Structure 1
């Protein structure tokens, strides 16, 4: 009986180790490109006017090399009286996802600092930002309707 228990325990541990050690690339893919996802999000969940960042502005605003990204769509406020922001970033190489997440967190902290002593309601939005990672996709949402925007974003991915 003890041998059977030891054998079963060993088998369970072996399965856990081999199951966790597989480093396979992410197979999570969106049904839409980043720009279309962002378009749909702002269509479904009303936001103040936002403008699209260009490649040279990604480095400036996010301190991030756009070469690490396969595709992206970053929408920032048209006027500096709002913190609302949506960034959808598809990272080329899975090993760069932590770097991109770090850059996104830094951006969220910078937005928070900008509004800390400026507009209290916008500061609250910035404090409650959402960061979602799905495979090689990283999403940043700053909005009073962040949860609604994340739900729309989640709908772009097949549930497995």
Structure 2
């Protein structure tokens, strides 16, 4: 009887270990059906912004101090004229391990914008102080706008958790 009990307990333990080991599927991923550019286009369409221009790949390093090679795709819109702080950046990072470095670069960019307007235009300085940084999986969003909360809500609707 003792042998059967021990055998049964060992079998149960092995079964639980196997179940625990097999349940280590990859964590839920967050994806959007839209590209970064399509997301920014939609955000600007739904929430009016001043004139913005697309940042070119050679400018990413200068403005964001970020290697574009770390990004799978991105869309960065900055003001056409240097009298506004409005900025929208969606960065899809290739490797999840690089997300903290990208977040750090984005925070640095937001701080630089803030410093530019600190003694220049008070309303734009307030926008820059209240920037939004949102990370969803491999996506990093920066929004500087007086309508940042509205833009983030539109952005949140682009994602489905799998």
The TM-score bracket by the shorter chain reads 0.7 to 0.9
For the residue of structure 2 that corresponds to 1:158, the secondary structure is: strand
Could you tell me whether the CA contact under 8 Å between 2:90 and 2:140 is conserved in 1?
yes
CA deviation map 1:78-97 (0-9, x unaligned): 00000000000000000000
Q: Which runs of 5+ in 1 are unaligned?
A: 1-17
Q: Which runs of 5+ in 2 are unaligned?
A: 1-19
CA deviation map 1:42-66 (0-9, x unaligned): 0000000000001000000000000
Misfit runs of 4+, over 6 Å: none
Q: Aligned Cα RMSD in Å?
A: 2.1
State how far apart, in whole Å, the 2-side matches of 1:156 and 1:42 are: 14
Shift of 1:25: 5.7
The TM-score, its normalising length taken from structure 1, stands at 0.84
State how far apart, in whole Å, the 1-side matches of 2:93 and 2:28 are: 11
CA radius of gyration, larger in: 2
The TM-score, its normalising length taken from structure 2, stands at 0.83
Q: Mean Cα displacement is larger for which, 26-35 or 64-73?
A: 26-35
Name the count of aligned residue pairs.
143
State how far apart, in whole Å, the 1-side matches of 2:72 and 2:25 are: 21
For the residue of structure 1 that corresponds to 2:32, the secondary structure is: coil
